Amino acid sequence: MKTLITGVAGFIGMHSALRLLDGGGEVIGVDNLNEYYDVNLKRDRLSKLQKYQNFTLHNIDINDSKKVDDLFFATQPSRVINLAAEVGVRNSVINPHAYVETNIKGFMNVLEGCRKLAVDHFIYASSSSVYGANKLFPFSEHHNVDHPLNLYAASKKANELMAHAYSNLYNLPTTGLRFFTVYGPWGRPDMALFKFAAAMLRGEPIDIYNNGEMVRDFTYVDDIVEGIFRVVNKVATPNERDAQTQLDPSTSNVPYRIFNIGNGRPAQLMDYVKALEVALDIKAKKNFLPMQLGEIRVTSADTYKLNEWINFQPKTTVSEGVQKFADWFVNHYGRN
């Protein structure tokens, strides 16, 4: 099958493409190679994909509706994975318009391409940040997510609503995946683990927000990608019970599904830091700071529904995953 992946030069995009290519699939990659972070890192990721004959890259911005339409009709994908987005909570406070442009308008253009071509399955990245002010733990897909704490979260919630509308109007199978704090090799430079490693190797202090009193459901990238791979191959179906009873937020009487995709074993931020100290054999200098605007103090994923749907539960521990990241970082950038 042909799978179109937007944001293919990104962290999760590259890993997802590799998983499909290694399985013999054909991948149509889309990326605009923007300068939100180091473009050279994106090019290095792409170099791994371009070794495959069944990979093609299209330098397209999903905000350009005509180019998106033309690409869909030219390539005829059967499945689409939308990972292109403006990402990060803090940047959404600084640059909100970009989040509306890409995460709403761009998402709309991809949805339209899926509709016009009647693709078999549309899978898209949502985020644990949609849980916002929710105080029930662990976060369950059954919980209300109407109280986002930042525009990034609001844009991801909007994606879920838009997908449901298209599932209803056009019988388009859509599956949204709420990612929980993904980390691992080839990660983004704006993510905590990357910034921590770079600072520690330079002998500089690391910034730790909320005085370290943060809990995250850290999820290793290979576990995320295995979940994506299995979901891609299990097309969203209606939940017929929703036609008779009160609607569940995560399913519908149309082909629409929402799943948490997290480790299911939340860890203290300071344990995460400790794992990196062990992996790099460096004692971090720590700069403790207040909570950042729009941040959530705790994330914790209820993964029961995903396990029930695709028979998969992430298994990588924080210590294992952080060691793999550190090994990659040192190999890619060196220790100096």
Whole-number Å distance between alpha carbons of 122 and 176: 9
Give yes or no for a cis peptide into 138 (omega within 30° of 0): yes
Nearest residue to 84 via CA among 120, 118, 109: 109
Q: What are the distances in angstroms from CA 18 to CA 14, 22, 38?
A: 6, 6, 21
Provide the 3-class DSSP secondary structure of residue 52.
coil
Helix (H) or strand (E) holding 203, with range, is none
Residue 203 Cα distances to 160, 187, 199, 211, angstroms: 42, 21, 6, 20
Q: What is the DSSP letter of 215?
A: E
Backbone angles phi and psi of 281, in degrees to 5: 60, 45
Task: Tell which residue, 1, 63, 67, has the closest CA to residue 28.
Answer: 1
Q: Give pairs for 295-298: CB < 8 Å, separation 24+.
A: 295/89, 295/90, 295/149, 295/150, 295/209, 295/210, 295/214, 296/128, 296/129, 296/131, 296/132, 296/149, 297/210, 297/213, 297/214, 297/215, 298/137, 298/214, 298/215, 298/216, 298/266
Calculate the alpha carbon distances from 208 to 146, 191, 197, 211, 272 in Å.
28, 12, 13, 6, 11
**Of 152, 209, 220, 256, which one is the catalytic site residue?**
152
Give the Cα separation of 260 and 201 in Å (integer). 34
* Residue 37 appears among annotated catalytic residues: no
Which residues are known catalytic residues? Answer: 152
